[in-house]
Amino acid sequence: MNTFLKRIWIGLAATLLVSLAAVVLPDQVQIDDGRVHLGAPLSRPSGSASARAPEPEATSPTLTRNEVDEAIRTAIRRAGLRPEQGKSTAPAGSNLNRTGWMAVREKPAAQSEMKAICVDLERQGWVLNPSGDSADASRSYKRGGWYLLVSTRGKTQAPSNTLSASQTYLTMTGLQLNLSDLPLPEITIRMR
């Protein structure tokens, strides 16, 4: 029984690692015939016709935190909200590699506001990450060395007494990551 539990934990850990890698480095993760390949792209094309290939990021200069903050405020305004309706999740000057905004919203409104924010981010030149996103709950983008997650997943981010049953958080979380300098080993995992 102990060996069985160990295999389950190893499987869960491998799944978690693959999921994280797919979100952060979508162009470095390929799934082909039940195998997950991390690192350099496969030499042969993937057999999965249903998976969309990530769009290459347009060449853009590295953004500063202030530019990302302005992109967030612009998208919020164009979605019909005021930045003052929420609060910053990383106060100015606290961390130059992280920023964000969040507000408590009614669930039906949050869905349409998230979609409007995403449309504006794409208009601003942010590139959608097609892997691992849920159109109704979260979308992630990248641009200029930054990754931006737009989400309406509320109950898991706060104690249950913070939100009513009809409310959720509308959040935007930005992280500056320069992962292109980190070489990834080529790893292939066979999923059974």
pLDDT digits (tens, 9 = 90+) for 78-113: 999 999 988 888 876 677 889 999 999 998 899 899
Q: How many domains does the chain have?
A: 2
**165 and 144 share one domain:** yes
Q: What's the token pair of residue 95?
A: 């961390």
The confidence score (pLDDT) of residue 46 equals 45
Instruction: Tell how far CA 98 is from the center of its chain.
Output: 14
**53 and 80 share one domain:** no
Of the candidates 172, 130, 134, the residue with the CA atom closest to the CA atom of residue 150:
172
> pLDDT tens digit string along 26-85?
666 666 655 666 665 555 444 444 444 445 445 568 899 999 999 999 999 999 999 998
The confidence score (pLDDT) of residue 137 equals 75
Of the candidates 36, 22, 18, 4, the residue with the CA atom closest to the CA atom of residue 192:
36
**Are 127 and 146 a contacting pair, CB within 8 Å?**
no
**136 and 47 share one domain:** no
**7 and 99 share one domain:** no
Q: How many residues does the chain have?
A: 192
CATH of the domain at 82: 3.30.310
**8 and 87 share one domain:** no
Rounded (5°) CA angle 112-85-117: 30
The region that residue 33 occupies, defined by phi over 0 for left and psi between -120 and 50 for alpha, beta otherwise, is left
Q: What is the mean pLDDT of residues 117-123?
A: 95
Most confident of the following: 1-15, 125-139, 164-178: 164-178
The confidence score (pLDDT) of residue 29 equals 67
pTM of the model: 0.61
**92 and 151 share one domain:** yes
Q: What is the mean pLDDT of residues 148-166?
A: 72
**Are 152 and 110 a contacting pair, CB within 8 Å?**
yes
Inform me whether the pLDDT recorded for 123 exceeds 90: yes
**What percentage of the chain has pLDDT greater than the value 90?**
29
Which letter does DSSP use for residue 51 in this model? S
Q: Nearest 10 degrees: CA dihedral of 100, 59, 18, 90?
A: -10
Residue ranges in 25-101 assigned as alpha helix (H): 65-78
**50 and 98 share one domain:** no
**Rounded-to-integer distance, Cα 32 and Cα 49, Å:** 10
**126 and 36 share one domain:** no
The confidence score (pLDDT) of residue 48 equals 43
The confidence score (pLDDT) of residue 50 equals 46
> Rounded mean pLDDT of the chain?
76
**41 and 88 share one domain:** no
**86 and 170 share one domain:** yes
**73 and 113 share one domain:** yes
**Rounded-to-integer distance, Cα 49 and Cα 111, Å:** 29
Tell me which residue range forms the domain holding 53. Answer: 2-57+182-190
**121 and 151 share one domain:** yes
